[in-house]
Amino acid sequence: MAETTWLDATAQADLVRRGEVSPKELVAAAIAAIEAVNPRLDAVIRTRFDAARQEAEGDLPDGPFRGVPILYKDLGCMVAGEPTAFGVGPLRAMAWPVTSYLAEQFRAGGFIPLGRTNVPELGTTVTTEPRSFPAARNPWNPGHSTGGSSGGSAAAVAAGLVPVAHANDGGGSIRIPASECGLVGLKPTRGRVSQGPLVGEAWAGGVIDGAVTRTVRDAAGVLDVISKRMPGEPYYAPPLPRPLAQEAGADPGRLRIGVLDRPGAEGFLDDPQCRAAVASTARLLESLGHHVDQSAPAAMFEQEFIGHFNTIIAADAEATFQAFEMLLGRPISEDEIEPRNAEYRRAGQALKAVPYLESRMWLGMWARRMADWWRDHDLLLTPTLGAPPPELGWFTAAGPQQEGERIISFIPYTAQFNMTGQPAISLPLHTTPEGLPVGVQLAAAYEREDLLIRVASQLEEAAPWSGRHPPVHA
Cis peptide before 194 (omega within 30 of 0): no
Query: CA torsion angle for 11, 13, 17, 19 (degrees, to 10)?
Result: 80
Catalytic annotation, pick one of 145, 149, 194, 227: 149
Identify the burial level of 6 via C-beta atoms within 10 angstroms of its C-beta, where 0-12 means exposed, 13-18 middle and 19 or more buried: middle
333 among known catalytic residues: no
Across-strand partners of 209? 168
Per-residue DSSP letter, 415: H
Query: From CA 292, how far away is CA 277, in angstroms rounded?
Result: 15
Catalytic annotation, pick one of 100, 173, 194, 426: 173
Asked whether the CA dihedral 197, 198, 202, 205 is positive or negative, the reply is: positive
- The secondary structure of 231-252 as a DSSP string is TT-S--PPPPSS-GGGTTT---
24 among known catalytic residues: no
Query: From CA 89, how far away is CA 46, in angstroms rounded?
Result: 13
Residues present in the chain in total: 474
CA angle, 62 then 68 then 74, to 5°: 115
Q: How far apart, in Å, are the Cα atoms of 131 and each of 108, 153, 154, 316, 337? A: 34, 18, 19, 20, 7
73 among known catalytic residues: yes
Active site residues: 73, 149, 173
